[in-house]
Amino acid sequence: MLFLLCPIFMHFIVPITAQPEINFQLCVAENGNYTENSTYQANLKFLLNSVYSNTEIDYGFYNFSYGESSDKVYAIGLCRGDVKPDACRDCLNYSSRVLTARCPTEKEAIIGFDSCILRYASRSIFGLNEVAPYFFVYSLTNVSDEKGFNRSLNSLLDSLQDKAAAGDSRRKYATGKISAPNFQTIYALSQCTPDLSQTECSNCLRNASARVGQCCQERQGGRVIYPSCNFRYEINQFYETPIGEDPSSPPSKGKNNTVIIVIILSVVISVMVILIISFYTFSGKRKSREKVK
């Protein structure tokens, strides 16, 4: 692709709550615009509707396209591996509405919540291992034994890479935990879009975890999110464990920390990217909780 990696850093401080809210969002202006009432807009609307109204898919991955030639639209919806089908559809429904409202003319866009990621484009995005743009989300709280924590974290992420990559064409997802210094436990999850091959998935996750030092050095929680794969770690269990696997610790819902979100975009040479990022006001957040839940 014609992309140069030219990082633009943007820092936002967003209070994290137990309810779904936007982790990141990007309108990709350099890949084309559509106009109001155009065929592309109609196709996009139809396509997104067919994603979140689909009740046959129960494994959280949607790779749909709709339309002809230059008006063809491609979409990928990916729910976190532990999210139930109903909650997955709700998240994608909500994502669709938020993303089309926030990117009203861009043909390509991406949005992420804790439970799902939605992207669409006018180019085929299926089966591609895409590691740009990428997004960081991390805790503002630091750990005390950085070296020891890092060692545990790296070893956990390494093992999850292979586990996730070994998944099938419906789900490439793995979770796990490891002891860390000071009686802490690190919980992590790694996931790829399952249209990647095993090798692509482990390459993508390896590439993502090599960035952990860029975002999350010393941090007690962090995420690196690519369009094709992502991982997250916390010191509390933030994912649901399938019944029978680990009954000891239920997922903890409350989060007290603030996170900083860093968004790094790829930019076409000489074309400035128009980036629309805005976060909810407090009242908007409350509203979104009700809708997505």
Ligand X SMILES: *[C@@H]1O[C@H](CO)[C@@H](O)[C@H](O)[C@H]1NC(C)=O
Name the segment binding ligand X (CB under 6 A); options: 173-181, 206-214, 237-245, 259-267: 206-214
| Residue from 19, 207, 236, 257 in contact with ligand X (CB under 6 A) | 207
- Helix residue ranges per DSSP H, the chain: 39-52, 85-102, 146-165, 198-209, 212-216, 282-292
| Residue from 146, 182, 278, 293 in contact with ligand X (CB under 6 A) | 146
142 binds ligand X (CB under 6 A): yes
**CA gap 209, 3 in Å, rounded:** 21
Name the segment binding ligand X (CB under 6 A); options: 15-23, 179-187, 208-216, 237-245: 208-216
List the Cα angle 270/276/280 in 5-degree steps: 160
53 binds ligand X (CB under 6 A): yes
Tell me whether residue 93 or residue 115 sits nearer to ligand X (CB atom).
93
Size, binding site for ligand X by CB under 6 A: 32
Collapsing DSSP to helix, strand or coil, 156 comes out as helix
Collapsing DSSP to helix, strand or coil, 268 comes out as strand
Cis peptide before 194 (omega within 30 of 0): no
Going by the DSSP 8-state scheme, the letter that residue 195 receives in this structure is: T
Q: Which residue sits closest to ligand X, CB atoms considered?
A: 213
* The pair of three-digit structure tokens given for residue 25, joined into one six-digit string: 């969002």
In the window 231-270, what residues touch ligand X (CB under 6 A)? Answer: none
138 binds ligand X (CB under 6 A): no
Determine the residue type at 204: C
Closest approach, Cβ 261 to ligand X, in A, equals 15
Collapsing DSSP to helix, strand or coil, 71 comes out as helix
Quick check: 118 and 36 in contact, CB under 8 A? no
| Residue from 32, 67, 176, 181 in contact with ligand X (CB under 6 A) | 32
36 binds ligand X (CB under 6 A): yes
Determine the residue type at 207: N
CA-wise closest residue to 20 among 62, 104, 83: 83
Going by the DSSP 8-state scheme, the letter that residue 142 receives in this structure is: B
Closest approach, Cβ 175 to ligand X, in A, equals 20
Closest approach, Cβ 145 to ligand X, in A, equals 10
Binding site for ligand X (CB under 6 A): 29-30, 32-33, 36-37, 52-53, 63, 89, 93, 105, 126-127, 131, 142, 146-147, 150, 154, 169-170, 194-195, 207, 210, 212-213, 217-218, 274, 291
